[in-house]
A and B are shown apart, each in its own frame.
Chain A
């Protein structure tokens, strides 16, 4: 699995802990990483992803449907799953403020072995770490 993930675009390092089933992925400083591709690569390597958490920095934007999202690249953004923390960021939409958040991008649905990755991932904000 480490090799599978390490081959993905934008991946700097992959650390796998067999003991607790934890996989840490560090993106390249100047690369663009696609979490959906990482999930697919994980399945391709024969294991099931139960959860995926992400720490990211970006601007708060409103997408075409009016949903709040974190824009991490000009062509990459993650829509928020609405919660109290995402509501607190609404005032920053469209501003130049850079926000660092930690959130859950994926959780395996109960009872299912494989998730449907065709739908866009929604970011459930767990923590707002910084506003600059």
Chain B
């Protein structure tokens, strides 16, 4: 019973976290001029 509850909590937690983690800026690259 306890295990079921823990599994449910983990499942709900992952649903809440995944959309935030999935979408994001991964990398930015710039080319600049006038750098010494």
Contacts and interface: CB of A to CB of B under 8 A. Distances in A.
Interface residues of A, number: 38
A6 interface: no
Interface in A82-132: 98, 100, 108, 132
Contact of B28 (A18, A54, A59): A54
Contacts of A1: 32, 35
A26 B33 contact: no
B16 to A, nearest CB: 14
Contacts of A55: 25-28
A36 to B, nearest CB: 12
Interface string B1-36: 000000000000000000001111111111111111
Contact of A47 (B23, B27, B33): B33
Contacts of A57: 22-24, 26
B29 A53 contact: yes
Nearest to A108: B33
A59 B22 CA distance: 9
A51 interface: yes
Interface centre among B21, B31, B32, B33 (most CB of A within 10 A): B32
Q: Which 4 residue pairs across A and B have the least CB separation, nearest first?
A: A25-B28, A58-B23, A23-B30, A55-B27
Interface of B: 21-36
